[in-house]
Structure 1
Amino acid sequence: METSNRIAQEVPIMSARYARRFIQFMERRGVKRQALIKDTNINEEQLENQEACLSINQVMRLLENANWLMVDERAPFQFGQQLDLPSHGLLGFAVLGQENPRQLIGMIVQYLRVGLPLMDMDLSSTGSTFRIRLIDTWELGALLPCVAKIYMGSIYRIASQVCDHFEIQFCFPSGIKDEAWRTVAGNTDFRFDQPYNQVTMPLAGRPARPDDATLEFLVARNRQSTEERSRESDETVMQVREMIMSQPGRPCTTENIARRLDISARTLRQHLSAAGTSFRKLRNEIRESFATLYLKDTNVPLESIADKLGFSDQAGFTKAYRSWTGTTPGDVRRQARQKN
């Protein structure tokens, strides 16, 4: 078990964009980049590569270097506060389209697990009050306070869309007064030396609807009225959307999704039809959204985008994208660069 865990820690699974943002955060506080990446096996090429991933060990070494260089114990929480949904990449952008507060909280947990696999999370609720408990799966040791604060800062930032009060508990002590902590999150009660690292938050309302033009690529919302759909079919549509968003490439087929849902492909098609949609329509909506994000906000080559989204070649991707939007991927990228 220990051997397999050590091997898992060397597998590149975490986007290098988190390391890049963290290093920039520390540099603004006067810490030199070379001091942060020393003995981490992280190089500049990885940090600048939009598609590069780092291993858990690389990230932990980076945090170890930073941990003793931090002069303010609130810094990890403040870094977490900078990790809004767009900072978590494509999946984070997808969650921005979620208008149901309860589902938003659940999807926060889901996508933080994908984007920041340093800790696991347990989500529970009583009425309209939610609790997210952090679980140390990598035996973080002395790094636990730093990582827990980063998670709590990000959860706080994201959940503030639907919650206006938080109680955050940490299982370690603090060397500063409560008043100092409230300066970073005024609507939060911080508790230290508690049994768990967890946040409790009651829902306050609905998330703000995204109206910024730059969010036009968000996953299309379910437009059919709830009166026309059964509860079971509606739940299936939500699950299928989530599964497609997590894996929009070639393995994303009706058969594979049905297998993951433990139903037949025929039953899946029936549920989607009852909801007024189809697997192909849902997948194309999501692929169009992700493709537009890649084209506007990254320099990923067109052939790589095509492969990520499940197309056999760039020509097929270009043809599909033109059919969805009336324009070509190349035109979208050129227009985005002109604006920048």
Structure 2
Amino acid sequence: MSDSSPDRSTVANLPVYLLRCLAATAEELGVAPARLCMGLGFTVEDLSNPACRVSYRQGSLMIRRALQMAPGQALGLRIGESETIASIGLLGYAMMTCRTLGDATALGMGLQKFAGSMLQFDMEPGPTTTRVQASNRFPDPEIYVFLVEEAFASFLQIARGLVGNSFRPERIELAYPAPAYAAEYRRVFGCPVLFDQPSNALVAANDWVAKPLLTYDPLSHRQALEFLDVGTLREQDKVDLFESVERAVRQNMQDLPTLADVAGRLHLSARTLRRRLADSGVSYQTLLDNVRKGRAIELLSNTAQSVEQIAIAVGFSDAHNFRRAFKRWTGSAPSELRESMMQKDASARA
């Protein structure tokens, strides 16, 4: 892993829960699942193996194929609607045995990799509501909408599995324009759905977040966590450290934290954090740039904000410095990349 480009998209560490559901839904739509997997290094049968792991890149290629073979099907919403808490394996059981819906959600946020998530999630409690925010793990505009649809529709089904079918979010905020099938969002979520927002968020009232779970069982919960071997995996997996740092940056994008700030949030000294990152072959600046680049691409592809507004949103004091940094990150100017993505989107809709 080089310091200039820590490419984690090729590491086979994702459980295949989402891809298994994708294969089943594709078959219902008349698309042979085997065609979706062809040449990707795994088969449809592999998706039924709990030990199977794929890389983000493999998963994204399978999703692209499905979207091409079943256009206009609200595929992400359809898959998310079909999922239950059992769809995420042992993590689902660990969530069921939590004390409250908020505790279960926090556990899911902390152990996202066990669910096979291809997005990054953050939980932000507020005075009256709690936001579950979804952002790109890797800049990937072609499947971005699908991933957000699936994630929030799945979260809704999981929450209802935990506290009952009466659960409703306060609202859904989405950082992209309304698709042609926008009415499907309102049917699925049963709440206001707002498009062209600054970020993707499912917003729930804190009364729901504090709702006790009837399946709470502290002993079973402890056993589930021990079986997941959380402590050992967190210690051994460098990706967890990277994601913890990146999460701290995302939560303070307009007032970027220093390495010492992030270290404090992770209960580490600045020296220890710097050493652990160096041992993993990456610097704090590289992770900072990755987050800013990903968020900038997300905003360029999915909102009508100006380049100047995006510069401020990702922590730059002026658009000139942002353009210079963006050119260094991607090889293109922000306006050039936006135009290119708009042309691709128009071609896909045609």
Report if TM-score (shorter chain) is over 0.5.
Answer: yes
Q: Secondary structure at the match of 2:189?
A: coil
Q: 1:268-283 residue pairs with structure 2 within 5 A?
A: none
AA matched with 1:247: D
Question: Which residue matches 1:103?
Answer: 103
Contact kept? 1:78, 1:184, Cα under 8 Å: no
- Match for 2:174 among 170, 175, 181? 170
Question: Which residue matches 1:21?
Answer: 21
AA matched with 2:200: N
Structure with more relative contact order (C-alpha pairs < 8 Å, separation 6 or more): 2
Contact kept? 1:77, 1:153, Cα under 8 Å: yes
1:23-59: CA deviation from partner (whole Å, max 9, x where unpaired): 0111111111233123422224522423111111110
Please tell me the root mean square deviation across aligned C-alpha atoms, in Å: 3.2
Measured in 1, the distance between the counterparts of 2:85 and 2:111 equals 9
Contact kept? 2:134, 2:148, Cα under 8 Å: yes
Contact kept? 2:98, 2:213, Cα under 8 Å: no
TM superposition score normalised by structure 2: 0.57
Q: CA deviation at 1:176?
A: 2.9
| Residue 193 (structure 1) aligned with residue 215 (structure 2) | no
Question: Which residue matches 1:289?
Answer: none
Q: Secondary structure at the match of 1:183?
A: helix
Measured in 2, the distance between the counterparts of 1:45 and 1:2 equals 37
Contact kept? 2:74, 2:181, Cα under 8 Å: no
Contact kept? 2:169, 2:189, Cα under 8 Å: no
Measured in 2, the distance between the counterparts of 1:208 and 1:39 equals 43
| Residue 69 (structure 1) aligned with residue 69 (structure 2) | yes
The structure with the largest alpha-carbon Rg is 1
Q: CA deviation at 1:13?
A: 0.8
Contact kept? 1:170, 1:191, Cα under 8 Å: yes
Contact kept? 2:153, 2:189, Cα under 8 Å: no
AA matched with 1:180: E
Contact kept? 2:119, 2:134, Cα under 8 Å: yes
Q: CA deviation at 1:249?
A: 8.9
Q: 1:131-210 residue pairs with structure 2 within 5 A?
A: 131-160=131-160, 161-162=162-163, 163-176=167-180, 178-186=182-190, 188-205=191-208, 206-210=211-215
TM superposition score normalised by structure 1: 0.59
Q: Secondary structure at the match of 2:202?
A: strand
Q: Secondary structure at the match of 2:69?
A: coil
Question: Which residue matches 2:91?
Answer: 91
Contact kept? 2:9, 2:56, Cα under 8 Å: yes
Unaligned runs of 5+ in 2: 236-265, 269-350
Measured in 1, the distance between the counterparts of 2:234 and 2:58 equals 31
Measured in 2, the distance between the counterparts of 1:45 and 1:106 equals 32
Measured in 1, the distance between the counterparts of 2:144 and 2:267 equals 37
AA matched with 2:151: Y
1:128-187: CA deviation from partner (whole Å, max 9, x where unpaired): 41101112121112111111111111112222345423311211122336543222222x
Report the CA distance shift for 1:123/1:35 in structure 2 as closer, same or farther (over 3 A). same
Q: CA deviation at 1:4?
A: 4.7
AA matched with 1:65: R
AA matched with 1:196: S
Q: CA deviation at 1:76?
A: 0.4
Measured in 2, the distance between the counterparts of 1:115 and 1:12 equals 14
Measured in 1, the distance between the counterparts of 2:70 and 2:215 equals 35
Q: Secondary structure at the match of 2:46?
A: helix
Measured in 2, the distance between the counterparts of 1:252 and 1:125 equals 24
Contact kept? 1:46, 1:53, Cα under 8 Å: no
Contact kept? 1:113, 1:121, Cα under 8 Å: no
Q: CA deviation at 1:97?
A: 1.2
Measured in 2, the distance between the counterparts of 1:157 and 1:31 equals 25
Measured in 2, the distance between the counterparts of 1:207 and 1:81 equals 24
Q: CA deviation at 1:63?
A: 0.6
Q: Secondary structure at the match of 1:155?
A: helix
Q: 1:1-340 residue pairs with structure 2 within 5 A?
A: 4-6=5-7, 8-160=8-160, 161-162=162-163, 163-176=167-180, 178-186=182-190, 188-205=191-208, 206-210=211-215, 220=219, 244=226, 246-247=228-229
AA matched with 2:199: Y
AA matched with 1:137: R
Q: Secondary structure at the match of 1:68?
A: helix
AA matched with 2:96: L
1:209-231: CA deviation from partner (whole Å, max 9, x where unpaired): 239xxxxxx76268xxxxxxxxx
Q: State the number of aligned residues.
A: 231
Report the CA distance shift for 1:135/1:245 in structure 2 as closer, same or farther (over 3 A). farther
Q: CA deviation at 1:124?
A: 0.7
